[in-house]
Structure 1
Amino acid sequence: MDNKPYLKKVRDQYESYPYPFRDPSQESRRLVEIAIERIDLINFYCFKGACNFNKFRVLVAGGGTGDSIIFLAEQLKHTTAELWYVDISQASMNIAKQRAEKRRLTNINWLHASLLSLDENIGKFDYISCTGVLHHLDDPLLGLKTLKNLLNDAGAMGLMLYGEYGRTGVYQMQQLMKMINVNENQLADKVINTKKILANLPETNWFTHNEKFLVDHINGEDNGLVDLLLHEQDRAYSILDVYQLLEQSALKFVEFSDVKMRMSYRPEQYINDSSLLKTIKQRPIKEQHGIAELLVGAFKKHEFYASMNADTKASFTELSNIPFFFPSEHYKNLGHQLANAILASPNKVISMKHSSGFEFDLSASQLNYTIFKNIDGKNTLQMIFDEIRKELKSETLNNEQLVAYICQCFKPFIQLDWILLKAS
């Protein structure tokens, strides 16, 4: 264990209550899927869909009990990718190691250290995951800059920071428990006192108002309660704070990794007045996100990709790219299913409902029939466009027109990550 600066009480907390609570024996029955660590999403948003993940270096900074490292290692176990896990808690790392052993994962390097101690000796990384960690540092900016210095020029990060407004009540409760537990030295006794307070909170308490959005203390064993209400070092960010943190680190915001989060940061989800909405949509995108956050008030975290580069997303103008439905294990036959539905209801609309809850209508046109019939995870955009011209007997439809059509009419599929791209 290195001697780089970190709050000893934070390390001791995670030694006594590793977070999140995980039972390694359950690995044989379930894989905890972490949405931001889906390699198809990482590839699409951060590497233009062109990464094959061989000789790919991954760092999970502040790996906790292993959710991110296990999910990434499981997805990458058939590649030559090299993964590194780093955490200040030996107890957390032991749990993560046991989980990896249960899964017979051999592609992980383990390091018991603070992320602040990492330097060029560990090498550069293509992807760095740091979710739920920076906001527990005394100097989050230093932490992010430390990680950024370990990033390859074309690399990217998956980050999660607590949301300020969605955690209303948490910090009042943390302060309350510090006052009540001022003479308690044992964390277990602090937990007991916290449970007593929770059982008797007045209806007027801000945490009571917000408790339905904050369930770690209910669903996460005592480990969740400690992490939420008894944390020794914890702060939260507005989305504008997040943008500022990235700018100070010379990083660029790429995209929210979670569909619900991404759609919820759009002011048009809540404002119907066209003139007001027009005014808001003229503002920079970060200010639009800030307006949406204040409108909703319930975003308890910001989860997103960041990069040193502005242009990292796979493009529909690159006709050698292959469109596919995501997640592919659930929707591998969706193209044919939609084509058959269009064939059964020509010139009508098909109601589409995404697993995130968002709905939209799809036109049952001949053009859409031909497109969906040919989206199979193998055909490139160029091959699909050639097939469209052949089946519709329309040589006047050029590639530019078809790209414009897909980007506009398939916009809901793209916004909801229902259709992604990968390089051929």
Structure 2
Amino acid sequence: MIKSDEDNTLLVDSIESVDRLNASFYARFPYPWQPASFDLLTDPDFQRVMINQDLGDWDHKSIPRRPRIWVAGCGTNQAIYTALKFPAARILGSDLSSTSLDLCSRNADQLGIRNLDLQQESLNQADYKDRFDYIICTGVIHHNADPGETLSRIAIALKPDGILELMVYNRFHWVIPVAFQQAIRILGSQSSTVDFESDFTFTKKLINDLPENTILDAFVSRYQNSDESQ
């Protein structure tokens, strides 16, 4: 029987082992899904000005005119969105997944983006110091074995007066998927260890057979019926 895992950290062994798991998972299931389109602002300085004003900086100096920006954990497209919003910036997009970076690179080439560099690397091994004016890290650090250690690496990479945009998932919105994941571990492989392939096969069958008009059916349908679902 799988042990109780209230914090959903069953697979955490070390920083390196979780990095390997993440790299393998997102190579197989690159995320986010590919968008139907990318938007381009007509005013190339709009995003920089708006963020500075959000920070109470009406002189627009917190993020300079030609900033260095790091999208830490960029996935398939966040670095592209950032490069389009900040055409005068130099953007670095980092991710563990080579598949995600390949998708990002192909889209960037098709869009003619020239202010973006991509790097396959773990945020836990990144060795940047006082380099970036603005770092974007959204929905990433909580997927690491030690989020505090990951955050410290990111903080070191900021210039002393740099800006960090950070987002982590809140526990409330993940009650349903985490409960479903833990139920699969109990009902699926019936092993003392996690067998991903067995659990994945069981999960797909269970989702296909879900009764209609249930909480879980409504949750899954949001993704199955998305315009950009794959």
Structure 1 length normalisation: TM-score? Answer: 0.43
The aligned counterpart of 1:240 is none
The aligned amino acid for 2:74 is G
Relative distance call for 1:6 and 1:125 in structure 2 (3 A) is farther
Given that 2:47 and 2:86 are in contact with CA atoms closer than 8 Å, whether structure 1 keeps it comes out as no
Relative distance call for 1:43 and 1:6 in structure 2 (3 A) is farther
The aligned amino acid for 2:109 is E
| 2, 11, 14: which one aligns with 2:26 | 14
Offset at residue 11 of structure 1 (A): 1.2
Relative distance call for 1:131 and 1:63 in structure 2 (3 A) is same
Q: For the residues of structure 2 that align with 1:40 and 1:216, how far apart are their CA atoms?
A: 34
User: What secondary structure, in the 3-state scheme, does the structure 1 residue paired with 2:137 have?
Assistant: strand
Residue 41 of structure 2 corresponds to residue 41 of structure 1: no
The aligned counterpart of 1:169 is 176
User: What secondary structure, in the 3-state scheme, does the structure 1 residue paired with 2:168 have?
Assistant: strand
Q: Deviations over 1:16-55 (max 9, x none)?
A: 11011217xx5xxx2158xxx9434322223614137433
Aligned length: 204
The aligned amino acid for 1:127 is Y
The aligned counterpart of 2:68 is 57
Offset at residue 182 of structure 1 (A): 5.7
Q: For the residues of structure 2 that align with 1:185 and 1:158, how far apart are their CA atoms?
A: 36
User: What secondary structure, in the 3-state scheme, does the structure 2 residue paired with 1:115 have?
Assistant: coil
Q: Deviations over 1:179-235 (max 9, x none)?
A: 314678564x64443232124446897635x728x834553646xxxxxxxxxxxxx
Relative distance call for 1:54 and 1:114 in structure 2 (3 A) is same
Relative distance call for 1:173 and 1:60 in structure 2 (3 A) is same
Given that 1:128 and 1:151 are in contact with CA atoms closer than 8 Å, whether structure 2 keeps it comes out as yes
Q: For the residues of structure 2 that align with 1:201 and 1:19, how far apart are their CA atoms?
A: 25
Given that 1:19 and 1:64 are in contact with CA atoms closer than 8 Å, whether structure 2 keeps it comes out as yes
Relative distance call for 1:53 and 1:76 in structure 2 (3 A) is farther
What are the ranges of 5 or more consecutive residues in structure 2 without an aligned counterpart? 1-14, 41-45
Q: For the residues of structure 1 that align with 2:39 and 2:161, how far apart are their CA atoms?
A: 28
The residue correspondences of 1:10-409 to structure 2 (distance < 5 A) are 10-22=22-34, 30-31=37-38, 38-46=47-55, 48-49=57-58, 50-51=60-61, 53-66=64-77, 68-77=78-87, 79=88, 81-120=89-128, 123-179=130-186, 180-181=188-189, 187=197, 190-201=199-210, 207-208=216-217, 211=219, 215-216=222-223, 218-219=225-226, 221=229
Offset at residue 103 of structure 1 (A): 1.1
Identity of aligned residues (%): 24
Relative distance call for 1:168 and 1:38 in structure 2 (3 A) is farther
Instruction: Specify which structure has the bigger relative contact order, considering alpha-carbon pairs within 8 angstroms and separated by 6 or more residues.
Output: 2
Offset at residue 143 of structure 1 (A): 1.2
What are the ranges of 5 or more consecutive residues in structure 1 without an aligned counterpart? 223-424
Given that 1:86 and 1:113 are in contact with CA atoms closer than 8 Å, whether structure 2 keeps it comes out as yes
Given that 2:22 and 2:96 are in contact with CA atoms closer than 8 Å, whether structure 1 keeps it comes out as no
Q: Quick check: which one's helix share is greater? A: 1
Taking only aligned residues, the RMSD between alpha carbons, in angstroms, comes to: 3.0
Offset at residue 69 of structure 1 (A): 1.2
Relative distance call for 1:113 and 1:166 in structure 2 (3 A) is same
Q: For the residues of structure 2 that align with 1:115 and 1:161, how far apart are their CA atoms?
A: 15
Q: For the residues of structure 1 that align with 2:224 and 2:21, how far apart are their CA atoms?
A: 20
Q: For the residues of structure 1 that align with 2:17 and 2:225, how far apart are their CA atoms?
A: 28
Relative distance call for 1:167 and 1:217 in structure 2 (3 A) is farther
The aligned amino acid for 2:16 is P
4+ residue runs over 6 A deviation: none
Q: Deviations over 1:127-165 (max 9, x none)?
A: 111111111111111111211111122211222211211
Q: For the residues of structure 2 that align with 1:22 and 1:203, how far apart are their CA atoms?
A: 28
Q: For the residues of structure 2 that align with 1:185 and 1:32, how far apart are their CA atoms?
A: 41
User: What secondary structure, in the 3-state scheme, does the structure 2 residue paired with 1:149 have?
Assistant: helix
